[in-house]
Structure 1
Amino acid sequence: MVAREITKDVFWVGALDFDRRLFDELIPLPEGTSYNSYLIRGSEKTALIDTVDPKKEEELIVNLIKLGIEQIDYIIINHAEQDHAGSLPMVLEMYPRAKVVTNEKCRDLLVALLQIPAESVMVIKDGETLSLGNKTLQFHLTPWTHWPETQVTFLVEDRILFPCDLFGFHQATSELYITNEAEAYRSAKRYFAEIMMPFRNSIRGYIPKVRDLNPAMIAPSHGPINKNPKFMLDAYEDWVSDTVKNVVVLPYVSMHGSTQILVDHLVGALIQRGVEVKPFNLSHTDIGELAYALVDAATVVVGTPTVLFGPHPQVVSATYLANALKPKMRFASVIGSYGWGGKAAETIVKMLDHVKVEVIEPVVIKGLPDEAAVVAINRLADDIAKKHKEIGIV
C-alpha cells in the first residue's frame, strides 16, 4: 500500500482489499472493498481518523511509518465496528501516547468489543471541536445512521467530511477519487440497500445538517473519495424519501415448475399493464442485487412452493432479509403452489411485520396452474396496477 496526499497535510493511509468477496458472512462484495483511514498533520498535533480491518492492520502501520509519523496525538473513532476500529489496539501499541477520541456510546462499545481501557478515551459531545493547531476537527453525532454510536468528523479549514460508513460503498480501486459517477451511483445505491436502508428515517434528518456544513469533499471509510458531495447527497435524499417507483420486485423459488409458471405469467401480465417487474430466482440470486431493487420498489410479490407446511427455506431467508432492511414498499402479495397442504402465504405475510404494507390478495393454487390460476394471476396484476395508479406512479 501507498499513503496518498488528499490535500496539504491530509493523507489516505488505509488498505485495499481486492480479494474479499463476503462481508459480515452475508453480503457479496463483487468489487472487493477498502478500509479507509486518514492521517491529518496539524501544526501542533497529529490525528488519525478511523483505522482498518484487523486483517489489514500491518498495511496501515506501514503507511504511517512510510510517512514518517513518529507520534499520533489523537485517534478519532467515528464508529466502533471492527472493520473501522479493529486495528485500534495495534495503533495504540505503536503510538501509546495517543488519546482515543469519540462519543460516550462509542467508548462503551470500544471497551466491550476491543477491550480498550475506558481511561484512554477522550469523550466528546455533539458540536465540539478539537484543535490540531492550524487545523480544526468538528464532531457531529449521528446516531442510527448505522449503529447507535455513529458520528461524523469535519475538518473545518479544508471542508472535508469524514462520515465513516455513511455515503460510502464497497469497492477496492486504485483510484483515490470517484471518476465515474454513474458507476459510483450504482455501487453506492447497492451499499445503501445492504447497510443503510434500515436507518433511512434517521439518515433523512441528518442530510440537511451535512448540507449546511458545505463539504468540499466526502472521505468515507469504504470506497473512493467524493469530490462532488452534492451528487451523493442528492442520491441519498431520494433513497431515504418515501417516494416509490412503478416497480414490482418478485423474488421466488420453484421446485417442480408450478410456481415458475405463475411467475412467468405474472411478469407478462404486469408488463402488459405498464408496470416494471424485476424477478429474482433465489436459487442463484445475488442478495445485494435483490436489496438494490428493493430500495424504491412500490410492491413486492413473493413466489414460493410449499415445503411441508410452509414456504421454501430460501424464500424464508429472503423475506427475513427484506423485513430487516425495511424498504419503503407500499404493497405486498404472495403467489405459489402446494401439493397436499400448508400455509405458505400466511407465513410470508406474518414475516413482513417491520414494513408497513397493504397486502394484496395472494394467489396460491394446488398443483399445476390451470385456467382459474391464470385468471387469478391476471386479477393480481390488475390489483397491483390499480394500487400503483392510486398513489400516482402509473
Structure 2
Amino acid sequence: MVVRKITERIFSIGTIDWDRRLFDSLIPLPDGTSYNSYLIRGTEKTALIDTVDPSHEEEFITNIVCAGCDRIDAIIINHAEQDHAGSLPIILELFPGAKVYCTEKCKDLIGHLLSIPAGRVQVVKTGDSLNLGGMTLQFFEYPWIHWPETMITYCPEDKILFSCDLFGSHYATSSLYMDEPCRTEISAKRYYAEIMMPFRSSISKYLEPISQMDLAIIAPSHGPLHNNPKWILDRYKEWTSDTVKNKVLIPFVSMHGSTERMVRMLTDLLMERNIGVKPFNLTDADSGLLAMELVDAATVVLATPTVLFGPHPAMVNAAYLANLVKPKTRFATIIGSFGWGGKTIDVIQSMIPHIKAEILPPVYIQGAPDEKTRDELMKLADMIASKHASEPAIL
C-alpha cells in the first residue's frame, strides 16, 4: 500500500489486506479489510495513531520509511486489540524514544497482550491533549464502543476524528474515501452488525457529542475514510435507535423439507399482509449477512427441525450469534417440525436471553405440514401484523 496524503500534515500509512477472508476465526470477510494507521507531523513532534496487524508489519515499516519518517515521538493506541496494536512492539524497538499514549485500561491490556513495558506508556484521560507543534491531538475515553479500553482521538486543526473501530468497515479498496454509495451502505452496515451492534446502547450515547464536533473527515481503523461525516453519523443514529422496520427475518434450516415448507407458507402469508419478509437459509450461510439482517428486523422467526432432542446445530449456532449481537428485535418466535419428540423450543428460548423481545406462541408440529399447520401459521401471521401495526417503534 502506498503512503497517501489526507491533509498537508496527516498521512495514511496503514496496509490493505486484500485476501483475508476470516476475522477472529469467526467473521467472514468477503471484501478483505484494511488496518489503518495515521502519521501526524507537527513542527515539534511526530505522532502515529495505531499500528497494524502483525502479519503486515513488514509492509507497515516500509510505509513508514516511504513516508520519510525517521522519528516518532508519540504512538497513540486507541484500542489494544492486535489488529490495531499488534505491531506496537517492533515500532517501539525501532523508535526507542517514542512514548505510547492510551487509557489506563489499555495500558493494562497491551501489557498482557503484547508485553509492552509500563515505563513506555503515558496514560491519558478524556480532556487530555498532546501538542505536536501546530497540531493538537485531543483524547476522549469511549469505553464499550467495542472493548472497555477504547478511546477516540481528535485533531481540531484539520478537523479529523480518528474514531477507532467506530464507523469502520471491513472493505479492502484502493479508494482512500468511501466513494461508492451502494457499496458503502452495505460494508458499513455489515461492519456495524458484526462488530458494533452488541454495544448499541453505549454507542448511541456517544453519537451526540461526536455530532457536535467540527468534522471534515472521520478516519476509522478499518476501511475507507468518510469525507462526508454526516452520512455515516446519520446511519449510526438510525441503526442504534430503537426503531425497527416492518420486516420479519426467518433464519431457517430444514432436513427433509417439512420446516422449509412451513417457512414458505409463512413467507407468503406475511407478504399477503404487506409485511416485508426475508427467509434466510442457514445452510452454508454467511454469518455476517445474518447479523446485517438482524439490525432492523422487527420480528425474528427461528425455523428449525428437531435433531434427536433439540434444535438443528445450524440453528444453535445462529441463535447463539443472534444472542451475542443483541439486536433490537421487538418480537420473536419459533416454528418447525419434529419426528418423535424433543425440547427444541425450550432449548432455543434458553439460548437467547439477550434478545429482549416478546416471545410469540410457537408453531411446532410433528411431521409434515398440513392444512391445520397453515391455519396455525395464518394465526401467527395475523398476530405479527397486529403487533407491527400497534408498535410505534416499527416504521
> Residue deviations 1:338-377, cap 9 Å, x none?
0110111121112110121111100000011111111111
Alignment of 1:196-275 (within 5 A): 196-275=196-275
Equivalent residue pairs, number: 394
2:313 is aligned with what amino acid?
P
Which string of whole-angstrom CA distances, capped at 9 and with x for unpartnered residues, describes residues 291-312 of structure 1?
A: 1110011000000000011000
In 1, Cα distance between equivalents of 2:370 and 2:65: 71
Tell me by how many angstroms 1:182 deviates.
Answer: 2.9
Q: How does 1:1-394 map to 2 (within 5 A)?
A: 1-392=1-392, 393=394
After TM superposition, the runs of 4+ consecutive aligned structure 1 residues lying more than 4 A away are none
Instruction: For residue 170 of structure 1, report the CA deviation from its aligned partner.
Output: 0.5
- SS of residue in 2 equivalent to 1:97: coil
What code does the residue aligned with 2:214 have? N
Give the letter for the 1:325 counterpart: V
Query: Structure 1: how far apart are the matches of 2:275 and 2:346?
Result: 25
In structure 2, runs of 5+ residues without a counterpart are none
Deviation at 1:213, TM superposition (A): 1.3
Give the secondary structure class of the aligned counterpart of 1:300. Answer: strand
Per-residue CA shift, 1:259-281, capped at 9, x if unaligned? 01101100001000111111111
Amino acid at match of 2:154: F
Look up the SS of the partner of 1:368 in the other structure.
coil
Residue 180 of structure 1: how far off its partner (Å):
1.7
Structure 2 Cα separation of the partners of residues 59 and 29 of structure 1: 21
Cα deviation digits, residues 20-50 of structure 1 (max 9, x gap): 0111111111110000000001000000000
Q: 2:256 & 2:276 partners in 1: Cα distance? A: 26
Deviates most, 286-295 or 181-190: 181-190
1:96 positional shift: 1.2
Shift of 1:156: 1.3
Give the Å deviation of 1:284. Answer: 2.5
SS state at 2:154 partner: strand
Q: Match for 2:274: what amino acid? A: G
Amino acid paired to 1:194: E
Percent identity, aligned pairs only, is 59
Distance in 2 of aligned mates of 1:67 and 1:309: 61
CA distance in 2, matches of 1:181, 1:11: 24
Task: Give the Cα–Cα distance (whole angstroms) in 1 for the partners of residues 310 and 169 of structure 2.
Answer: 36
Structure 1 distance, partners of 2:214, 2:337, is 54
Where 1:213 maps in the other structure, the secondary structure is coil
Q: Please, which runs of 5 or more residues in structure 1 have no aligned partner? A: none
Q: Deviations over 1:127-153 (max 9, x none)?
A: 111000110000011000000000000
Superposition deviation, residue 223 in structure 1:
0.6
Separation in structure 2 between the aligned mates of residue 247 and residue 346 of structure 1, nearest angstrom: 25
1:153-211 deviation per Cα after TM superposition (whole angstroms, max 9, x unaligned): 00110010001110010111111111123321211011000000000100001011111
Q: In structure 1, what residue type is equivalent to 2:286? A: D
Shift of residue 212 of structure 1? Answer: 1.4
- Give 1:285 deviation, angstroms: 1.7
CA distance in 1, matches of 2:284, 2:70: 50
Matched residues in 2 for 1:371 and 1:41: separation?
Answer: 72
* CA–CA separation in structure 1 for the residues paired with 2:34 and 2:356: 35
Counterpart residue identity of residue 240, structure 2: V
Q: What letter corresponds to residue 75 of structure 1 in structure 2? A: I
Q: For residues 58 and 171 of structure 1, what CA distance do their matches in structure 2 show?
A: 21
TM (norm. structure 1) is 0.99
Bigger mean CA offset, 222-231 vs 282-291: 282-291
**Distance of 1:134 and 1:310 partners within structure 2:** 64
In structure 2, C-alpha distance between the alignment counterparts of 1:384 and 1:118, rounded to whole Å? 56
- State the one-letter code of the partner of 2:378: N
CA distance in 2, matches of 1:326, 1:260: 26
In structure 1, distance between residues paired with 2:346 and 2:382: 22
Q: Partners in 2 of 1:328 and 1:373 — Cα distance? A: 29
Task: Measure the CA separation in 2 of the matches of 1:214 and 1:339.
Answer: 62
- Residue 118 of structure 1 deviates from its aligned partner by 1.0
* Separation of aligned partners in 1, 2:141 and 2:181: 28
